Structure 1
C-alpha cells in the first residue's frame, strides 16, 4: 500500500446482483411466476450490454410487480451471498456502500445483512401496484459518495455492462466475475479482473 493511499479516506462501492449475491436476483424472483428462464435471458442480455439497463429494468419490474412484495423479500432473503464479501463489508460498514440498480423495497433483507449505506432504485406499492419512483444512475451515486460524503478515493466493484460507468469513474475499478465472466464493458473500464470473492477481498485489503 502506498503512503498516499494509506492517508486517503477510501470508499468501497459494490454492485449487488452477481457481486455480493451468488445469483442474479430478478431471475430468482421470476421463478414465482414460472418465467425464470425468460427473465434470466433478459437479465443476461442487459448484463452483457446488448440492451440498455433502464428500459430492461422497467420491463422486468412490470412483469415482476405482479408478485406479492412479501414473497419477493422472502425469495431475496434466501439467495446466498458471497461470505468473503459480506465479511469485508460488515467489518467496514462505515466505508462500504452498495450501489445497486435493484429496488430498495425488494432487497431490504440483503441490505440489512450488510448493514452499510446503499444507493438503489426506488419503488413503492400503491393500491397493490408497483410504481417506479426512480432508477439509480450509478455514476451520479459515485459522484455523491465522493463529493457529498467526502471520500478522496473510491474503489468500485461490479460485474456487468451497467457497472462500467461506475468502474470507469472510480479511482480503482474492479470487474468481478463471481457468477459469470464479467461483461467486456466492465472489464474494459477496470484496472483489475477478479473471479472469486476470497481473491477480491485480499486485493481490497491492499488498496
Structure 2
C-alpha cells in the first residue's frame, strides 16, 4: 500500500476506468435496461468483468443483442444521464491542481463517455474508449475493432502508448475491474476502487483498495 501511495504522490498521470468507477453504474448495462435487454447483457458483463470470457467476445455478443441506434442512444442520454461517483469531481480537480494529467480509459463507448468527460472537464483527446459505428440511417453497424480498448489487454496497451508518447514515470491506474488490474504493469501502480461494486479478485490482488475517493484525496493532501 505504501508503495502505491508513494507513486500516487509522485504521479505525472492518472488513468481512471469509467463504468462503476468514475460513474456509479455500468453504462452498457444501463443502456441495455433502457432497451429492454437488461438481464441478458448484465450476465455477459459479469462474465467479462470476472475474466471468464475475453473482452472482445463479450463486447460483440452484447452489442449484437443490443443493436443500439443513434436515436436510441440520444434518447437514453437525455432520460438517463450517468451519475458521477461521490468525490470523483473533487479528486480530478485535486489532480489537475497538481499538474497531473487525467485520462479516462474504458471499454465503454465514446457516445456515452463524452458527456461524463465534459462534466469533469477532461478533454476528448484524454479519453480512450470504444467507438460504435452506424449506417447512414442511424442504425447500428458494429464497433471500431481497431481501438485498443476493444480487445482484452487493451487498457494495458493504452497505458503503454501514453508512457511512450509522453514519457510518464509515475502513472497510476484506478478502477474496479479485472481489466484495470491487468493494466499494472505497465502502469506504475494500481488502486482498486470498490465504492460502487466490490469485485473480490480485484480486492484480493490490489495492493491498495479504496471504497471512497476521499481516501485518495487525503493522501494527495
With the length of structure 1 as denominator, give the TM-score of the two structures: 0.85
Match of 1:198 in 2: 214
After superposition, the Cα gap between the structure-2 partners of 1:6 and 1:13, relative to the gap in structure 1 and judged at 3 Å, is closer
Secondary structure of the residue aligned to 2:107 is: strand
In structure 2, distance between residues paired with 1:26 and 1:86: 22
Match of 1:174 in 2: 191
- Structure 1: gaps (5+ residues): none
In structure 1, distance between residues paired with 2:179 and 2:170: 21
Structure 1 residue 22: Cα displacement:
0.8
Structure 1 residue 62: Cα displacement:
2.2
1:124 paired with 2:133, answer yes
What are the equivalent positions in structure 2 for 1:156-171 lying under 5 Å apart?
Answer: 156-171=173-188
After superposition, the Cα gap between the structure-2 partners of 1:5 and 1:27, relative to the gap in structure 1 and judged at 3 Å, is closer
Match of 1:101 in 2: 107
1:155 paired with 2:158, answer no
Structure 1 residue 6: Cα displacement:
9.1
In structure 2, distance between residues paired with 1:169 and 1:157: 13
In structure 2, distance between residues paired with 1:169 and 1:191: 15
Structure with more of its chain in strand, by fraction: 1
Report the count of equivalent residues: 202
After superposition, the Cα gap between the structure-2 partners of 1:23 and 1:5, relative to the gap in structure 1 and judged at 3 Å, is closer
> Which of 48, 71, 76 lines up with 1:72 in the alignment?
76
With the length of structure 2 as denominator, give the TM-score of the two structures: 0.80
Where do 4+ consecutive residues of structure 1 move more than 4 Å? 4-9
RMSD: 2.5
Structure 1 residue 154: Cα displacement:
0.6
Secondary structure of the residue aligned to 1:200 is: helix
Deviations 1:166-201 (A, max 9, x none): 1342211111112221341x3455321112222233
